[in-house]
Amino acid sequence: MQFVDEATIEVAGGHGGAGIVSFRREAHVPLGGPDGGDGGHGGDVIVEATSRVTTLLDHRYRRFYRAEAGKRGGAAKRTGRRGEDVVIPVPLGTLVTDVASGELLADLVSEGQRLVVASGGRGGQGNVHFATSTRQSPRHSQDGLPGEERTLALSLKLVADVGLIGLPNAGKSTFIRAITNSHARVGSYPFTTLVPNLGVYRMGDHDVVVADIPGLVEGAHEGQGLGDRFLKHVERTRVLIHLLSLSVDGMDPLAAYDVVNGELAEWSAELASRPQIVLLNKIDLLDDRDELALWREEFSARGLHVMVASGLTGENVHEVMARAVTLVADSRGDEEPETEEASGKWSPI
């Protein structure tokens, strides 16, 4: 399925039903009074967050949503039926903004969270409401009012506990495949992953949502390499795993660390201070494992502890995830997870 994280839609509440002009007509009641009923209210347009959808793709093809109009009133003071609501499902993490005013209407992050974005029009009154002591047979009623109309911008920010970050070709997709049953595309060239992937990693009773964020490049906060589109998906994560490639044709790990963290800082100071696991990846490519001690010293000189792993062989990947689960539990205020055999479950977007 194509991943779409931005869409613009138009919404309109249902038109209110008209009230009617009617008079009571029964046997032996020759001068029955007015009994015209009110029209029903128009339906509302509602946006609802749900885990059943993971992309805004549908809203690229369907741009207009209108709720059902209310029905006309009836005789004997019967009120017309209310129009049916239209419920628009959106992924968890969707921001809803009014295009005309620029106002952020809601940030929908919880399952079932709803927002009425276009209210239906009020139904018109029937002639029963217009009877007075001097006008006992009113022959007019009200039309229903139009529903609210507006244009909305939908923008998705993934909701995840752990975000995998790094330069393109740092090995994030291979790492994902090592911890889950993901079928994420991998390759020895930059930008293999062009859209975020989202999945669940389970360790004992603890589940964490993991997001594989496409590679960030220098200038990402200004839009280089679609970086501004990718960085917003890191904002909600609790913990970051920063993958640094040890490939001989890759950037020096310290320099790569500085590039990515510099982009995080430019995007958001709060994001740059997020708990981060620094991971030297692709250790299977090293001819001499003693080189790892040298890199540990380099990072230690900056006050940074590093972990090492190989996404290709699976070496140490579950130890890395155990550390991530612990950090997530700390941020949630959960009990510390017990270290035990872990398994991954993955639902690619």
pTM recorded for the entire structure: 0.76
pLDDT digits (tens, 9 = 90+) for 269-324: 888 888 999 999 999 988 888 889 999 999 999 999 999 999 889 899 999 999 99
Do 52 and 139 have their domain in common? yes
Same domain, 120 and 176: no
Q: Number of structural domains, the chain?
A: 2
**342 and 302, same domain (yes or no):** yes
Question: Do 276 and 129 share a structural domain?
Answer: no
Q: Tell me the residue range of the domain where 257 lies.
A: 162-346
pLDDT value, residue 169: 82
Mean pLDDT of 55-69: 93
Sheet of 114-118: strand order equals 86-90, 45-49, 114-118
> Are 141 and 168 in the same domain?
no
Q: In which residue are the tokens 């005309």 written? A: 100
Final residue of a structural domain among 124, 156, 188: 156
**Statement to judge: residues 326 and 234 lie in one domain:** yes
Instruction: Count Cβ neighbours within 10 Å for each residue of 221-239 and write b for 16 or more, e otherwise.
Output: beeebbbeebbbbbbbbbb
| 167 and 311, same domain (yes or no) | yes
- Answer yes or no: do 231 and 293 share one domain: yes
Same-domain status, 183 and 319: yes
In 3-state terms, what secondary structure has residue 97?
strand
pLDDT value at position 172?
Answer: 86
Query: Which CATH number does the domain housing residue 38 bear?
Result: 2.70.210.12
* Residue found by looking up tokens 């009012």 in the block: 145
Measured between alpha carbons, how far is 105 from 117 in angstroms, rounded to an integer?
A: 8
The residue out of 156, 177, 211 marking a domain boundary is: 156
Task: Indicate if 232 and 109 belong to the same structural domain.
Answer: no
On average, the pLDDT of the chain sits at 85
Q: What CATH code is carried by the domain that includes residue 336?
A: 3.40.50.300
